[in-house]
Every structure is written in structure tokens, then in C-alpha cells.
Structure 1
Amino acid sequence: MATPKIAIVCEFLTVMGGAENVVLAMHEAFPSAPIYTALYKPEAVPAFNHADVRTSKLQKLPKFLRKTHRLFPTLAVKAFQEFDLSEFDIILTSAYLNANQIKKSRPGQKIISYCHTPARYYWSHYDLYRKQPGFGMLNPVIRALMPILVPHQRKLDYEAAQRVDVWIANSTETQKRIKTYYGKQATVIHPPVETNRFTPARTRSDYYVTLGRQLPNKRFDLAVAACTELGVPLKVFGKGEMHDELRKIAGPTIEFYTDRFGDASDEAVERALNHAKGFVFPSDEDFGIVSVEALAAGAPVIGYDSAGTRDIVTQGETGVLFARQTVDDVAEAIKRAETIRWFPSKLNRTARRFDKSLFLTKLRKVVYDQWR
């Protein structure tokens, strides 16, 4: 039987994060598949240098306008709708915003969506983003415009969802959202994690780690404030619009690492996690690949009891969950973690149920089942 021609579609390739790691694994599963994306920044995502990346018309915008693409969501919708994917049998999307806006152009084509979440801006977290849009000085303007613009974007998103043939959710929480907002059933395949990257140290150091894009909704301020209050060492990896604010509230036990290709490189993160006393994860995430990486490195997770974290962390066995996103709750969870004896090798074994090899096997099966 002939193999299908497959295209991979994702929102953006401009920074390396969890969604981009999923796209990279998709390309590993289907190496001959080109990757279609709205915007591509090769120097920021060198892992894709070997891939056939094809960009939308947004790539031709002046650089300063490309940086403000979030201000023009309808342009991104149109850019995806204008992709010509007529040569492909299977269109595999990695979606959390506009990737599902692509359209079929002939009978027999199938769209399979790996959904990180239905767009949080439009659905599950609309109220939160209206309070904290994340546009700095433009926040008052964005707050005023959201009730006017979002209903239309929500409509476009819902219509695009109805064209998808097969839904894959990255967590049970995302599975519920797909049902709630799109009225569709989804199969859960957890994101790929390279658990073999990590070698847990039996003797742990005295510091904690937190890691990720420093955006308002990620709530890294809770980790920094709690560890400052407790006087415990915390290594903070990453950067973002909240970085300066985090530095202002940080005490002397907090250290920051920001260079993605230097002191915050993959190797630096691996070394830190392999010896960390624990990993603080205060975010309300759809899944949270970094939490699995922490477990693979033998570090228990001190995490917010919500969404994807519930798929990863078992209370008192692989970490400590806290019920509210407050400094006091995070501090109490860290203090409780200090009283538990953790076994790094056991945490590492628990993480292996999310190993990339399982993701590749399950994804290939879903795709080829649609071709038979």
C-alpha cells in the first residue's frame, strides 16, 4: 500500500517551547513531511534547520510588524487559509490558536489536529487574558477591543474546528475543553518527552528550579516570592515580558539564567534538574512538559493542582500539589515537600510513561489508521 503524503502545520516557529518540541517530534515521525507555519525565525529554533519549513505571507512583513502579529489575529487566520495543501493526503496540525484554519482542497483529504488547547484567548481563559492581555502599555486598548473582536475570532475558530476529522488532545483537561467548546471527541496522547536526556543524581543539592516563558499567566512571581520568603535557593531559567518584574521581587537566594544558548541552554537545564531538590511549577498549563522533565531528572514537582499537571503529578508520590495560586500556598507546598523522602530513581521511572517513543508510536498509528 502506498504511503500518504503528509503535511505538518503549526502556528509559529519563533521560539523553542513545548509546542515546538511537539512539532519537532511530528517531523521525526514523518521526516518527509514539510512544515507549514505562519512565521519562522531560524536562528531562534535551530533544531528545525534540517526541516523543509514553508512560511505564510506574514513572513514577508517588515520585521517590526512580525513582532506584533498578535495584534492582527485575522491576518493570521487568512494566512493559514491561503496555504495550498492540495498535494497532501493527511494534514497534521499542532494547534493552540490558528493552525486549524487551513482548508481541504480536494475530496479524501483528512485533517488530524493535535490540540494543545482550544485557543485560550477565546475560550477557557478569556476572562484572565482580558485582565492581563500581555501587551504592556497597550493593555488598556486591548481590554477595550477584546469584547468587540473576540466573538468573531471565536466564530472562525469554531468553524475551523468542525472541519477537523480527528482530534488528539495533549491532556485530559484539553480533551474536556475540545468537547465543551467544539462538541468533538478526542483521544489523549501526551506530548513527547525525551526522558533519557536526564540522569538523576542520588544525592540532591539544596536548590529548587523553575523554568519557562516569563509571561503574566505563567505565575513565576509565585515561585520567586515564595522562595524569597522561605529563604531557599531557586534557579529561574527563561525570560519574557515579566523578567524585570521578577528580578525586582527576588531576594538573595534567587538566581536567573536567561541565555537560551548559554547559561539557560538545554545542557545547563539538564544539569540543574539532575541535582535539584525539587521543581516549582505554579502555572495553569494545558499539559506541562517541563514537569515531566523534572520527574525524569529525579526532582519532585511542587505544582498547581489544575489542568495538565493532574495528569503528571500524584499527590505525595511524585510531588506536592497546591490548591490556590498564592504565595502562601506555594510556600506551604515547598515546606511539605521538605518533609517527604523522595526517591529520584522512582520519579524517573514514573516519567517514562510520557517518553517520546510512545508518542511517536501512537501518533503514527492514528495517522496511518486514517489512510487505510
Structure 2
Amino acid sequence: MKVAIVHEWLVTFAGSEQVLARIASLFPEADIFSVVDHLSDEDRTHLGGKRTKTTFIQRIPGSRTHYRSYLPLMPLAIEQLDLSKYDVIISSSHAVAKGVLTGPDQLHISYIHSPIRYAWDLQHQYLRESKIGWGPKGWLVRWLLHKVRIWDYRTAAGVDHFIANSHFIGRRVHKVYGRQSDVIYPPVDVDAFEFCENKGDFYLAASRLVPYKRMDLIVKAFSRMPDRKLVVIGDGPEMSKIRSLSTPNVALLGYQPFSALKNHMQRAKAFVFAAEEDFGIIPVEAQACGTPVIAFGKGGSLETVLGAGNPQSTTGLWFAEQTPESIIDAVNRFECMPEPISPAACRRHAEKFSVERFQGQFRDYVDQRWSEFSSLRTQTT
């Protein structure tokens, strides 16, 4: 089978790009397509040095830094990719990649990181955080998102099989597209995070400092617990806000290289995570180090963290609300647990999300669907 892989945009090498790289390694002869491709040479090594085939947006001035501003053009752009010579199309989609045009003799499998978040259930949060009001610009943005929703729903019919990256996203796929999906958790490079049983006396929070990560809530909570230490790793537009909220027991380290992040993750008493994520790779990485996780109990965290009383062994605790009070309560419950969480149990659980597990499941899934599709196609010709 001749395979094409379609991704949204290649600008940085983050979570969805890691999934793309693992898929691409399964199909080394496949061609890769994207809306724009501005990967650095270092990041491109993860794709075997491959150059992708891009859309007309690649040639528009500012596409390297302001590619998101061209969202209104992306549905048109993705539809101009000619995939007619391929048997199997695999889209890795969190925005428009699943909207490529395919024919009845082509199998389209879409790995969904999420339906377009800012066009569907998170639209109001996006508008708030972007400070988009109700003036002419606000009405224009709302109208464009309305059009994007119509296009997004229509193009779901062109996908033969959806794979969701979590059951949480599977529910969103069903809500938005009215389609069922199979779940294959994304790959986590657990082997890069060595197990460490000896823990220090500090808690760790690490992420990009952007609004939806809710790092401000974690810092506010620890500012009210002066006897407990918190280390914060990460940088971003919210740095000044986080700095203004921090107290002497909160250490803001800013951006740190991977070695320093891993070292802190291995030694932390627990990793604190306040975002509502579709899946959330970093809590799994913390557990790979043998570190328990205190997480907001919604979204992917309900699937990546085993809460108290779980028959498979506890690997962390959840808090019910995105508030400092709820985080404080969770930290207190963690400190008062009758038996400490086993670092070995955390590691065992993290290994269930390994790269090898993902690649085995994904390859088997594609092969099975292709066999079924080929058989049906033969019967009808």
C-alpha cells in the first residue's frame, strides 16, 4: 500500500509532532504533507530528515511566525493537496489535516488529537483569553469560527476511521462529528526518563507558561502553604504574572534544558498538574521517573493517573476544581495518605504508554483496516 501522512503545521517539535514522527517511522516510504513546514534541521532529524509537501500558505509572508493567523485559509489550503495516487491516507489532526480530499478507493484513517478546540466547546474560553470582545473584530472572528465549524463537521464524512488519543477525546469526537472512534494512547518516550526511588522535599510543576496550563493556580496554592516548597520550570507569556504571585517557598527556574527538567522530575515529591488536557504527556513522564502526580481530575488526567483506591495501584491524586483551595486540599490529602504512593507502581503504569506499545497498536490497526477495506473493495468491483 502506498501511504501519505498529513499533519497540520510543522513549526516546533511538540506533542503532536512526536506522534507524527512515530507514525512516520512505521511507514518509512510514506510521503508527508503539511500546511506549512518551518522545522529546524535539528527537529527534522526526528522525521528522518524528510521534507514535507506543503500548501500555498508556505509561500505567504509571515507563515513562519504567524501561521495561525491564516486559519481562515487553511481549509482551502488543505483541500489543494493532491493525494490521488495514495492507497492509505493517515492524518494527524488537531485542526484541518483530516479535511484532505480522498476518493472511494482510498482508505483515510485520522488520528485525532482533538477536534478544533477553539472552534467548538472551547470557543468561549479562547475568545476570553484572546481578549476578543464584541466589536467588529469580535464579530468577524465569531463568524469565521462558525464557518470553520461547518467545514469541520462536513469533512468528518471523508474519514473512514477515527482514532482518538484518549477516551476523553473520543467523547468529543462523538459529540462534534457524531462518529465513533477507537482509542490508541499517544507514545511517551518513557525510556528517556529513568526511574528514581529517592525523593526530595519539593513539589514540581513544569509546562509552558500560557493561560490554559493554569500555573497561576498552582503558585497561588503554594503561596498559601509557606512550609512546602514548589519548583516551577518553564517560560512563556505568563512569566511576569507567575513571578508576581510567587513567594519565597516558590522557586521559578524559567526554561531549563531536558537534563535539568528530568533531574527535578526524578527527585520531586510529587508533580502538580492543573491543566485540562486532551491527554497530557508530562504527567506520564513524571510517573516514568517514579514520581506521583497531583492532577486536575478532568480530561486526559483521568486516564493517565490512577487515583486512590485503584486496584492496579495508586499513582496519584486528583483535585476536583481548578482553584487554589482544591489544590491545597489535594496536597494535604497526599501528605496524609496512610501509605505512600509506590514509585515502582508509578513506573509500571507509565510503561503502558510506551513508544513500543503505540507503534505495535497503530501498525496493527492500519494493517487490519487496510485488509478489511481491500477485501470490501474487491467484492464490489
Asked if residue 11 in structure 1 is aligned to residue 8 in structure 2, the reply is yes
1:235 counterpart SS class:
strand
Cα distance in 1 for residues equivalent to 2:210 and 2:231: 17
Answer yes or no: is the 8 Å Cα contact 1:90–1:111 preserved in 2: yes
Question: TM-score normalized by structure 2?
Answer: 0.88
Asked if residue 250 in structure 1 is aligned to residue 246 in structure 2, the reply is yes
2:119 counterpart SS class:
coil
Deviations 1:4-41 (A, max 9, x none): 11121111222232212111111222222232222223
- Counterpart of 2:294, as a letter, is I
Answer yes or no: is the 8 Å Cα contact 1:169–1:175 preserved in 2: yes
Tell me the residue number matched to 1:271: 263
Asked if residue 335 in structure 1 is aligned to residue 332 in structure 2, the reply is yes
Q: Percent of aligned positions with the same letter in both sequences?
A: 32
Cα distance in 1 for residues equivalent to 2:110 and 2:307: 31
Q: Which moved more, 1:49-58 or 1:273-282?
A: 49-58
Tell me the residue number matched to 1:94: 92
Gaps of 5+ in 2: 309-313, 372-381
Deviations 1:67-115 (A, max 9, x none): 22323312122221111222221111111111112111x4411111111
Cα distance in 2 for residues equivalent to 1:269 and 1:166: 37
Tell me the residue number matched to 1:315: 307
1:192 counterpart SS class:
coil
**Any residues of structure 2 matched to 1:74-223 within 5 Å, and which?**
74-104=72-102, 106-133=103-130, 143-223=138-218
1:76 counterpart SS class:
helix
Residue 171 to residue 15, structure 1, CA distance change in 2 (3 Å): same
Question: TM-score normalized by structure 1?
Answer: 0.90
Answer yes or no: is the 8 Å Cα contact 2:12–2:39 preserved in 1: no
Answer yes or no: is the 8 Å Cα contact 1:37–1:53 preserved in 2: no
Q: Which moved more, 1:181-190 or 1:312-321?
A: 312-321
Asked if residue 366 in structure 1 is aligned to residue 357 in structure 2, the reply is no
Answer yes or no: is the 8 Å Cα contact 1:273–1:297 preserved in 2: yes
Deviations 1:201-259 (A, max 9, x none): 22101222222232212211112222232233333233332222222222233334444
Deviations 1:51-76 (A, max 9, x none): 3231322222223x542232331212
Tell me the residue number matched to 1:230: 225
Residue 197 to residue 190, structure 1, CA distance change in 2 (3 Å): same
Q: Which moved more, 1:250-259 or 1:180-189?
A: 250-259
1:83 counterpart SS class:
coil
- Counterpart of 2:66, as a letter, is T
1:362 counterpart SS class:
helix
Answer yes or no: is the 8 Å Cα contact 1:14–1:45 preserved in 2: no
- Counterpart of 1:212, as a letter, is S
Answer yes or no: is the 8 Å Cα contact 2:218–2:272 preserved in 1: yes
Residue 202 to residue 124, structure 1, CA distance change in 2 (3 Å): same
Answer yes or no: is the 8 Å Cα contact 1:239–1:258 preserved in 2: yes
What RMSD over aligned residues (CA atoms) do the two structures have, in Å?
Answer: 2.1
1:306 aligned to 295, 298, 302, which one?
298
- Give the Å deviation of 1:300: 0.9
- Give the Å deviation of 1:130: 2.2
Residue 256 to residue 62, structure 1, CA distance change in 2 (3 Å): farther
2:224 counterpart SS class:
helix
Max Rg structure? 2
Asked if residue 40 in structure 1 is aligned to residue 37 in structure 2, the reply is yes
Gaps of 5+ in 1: none
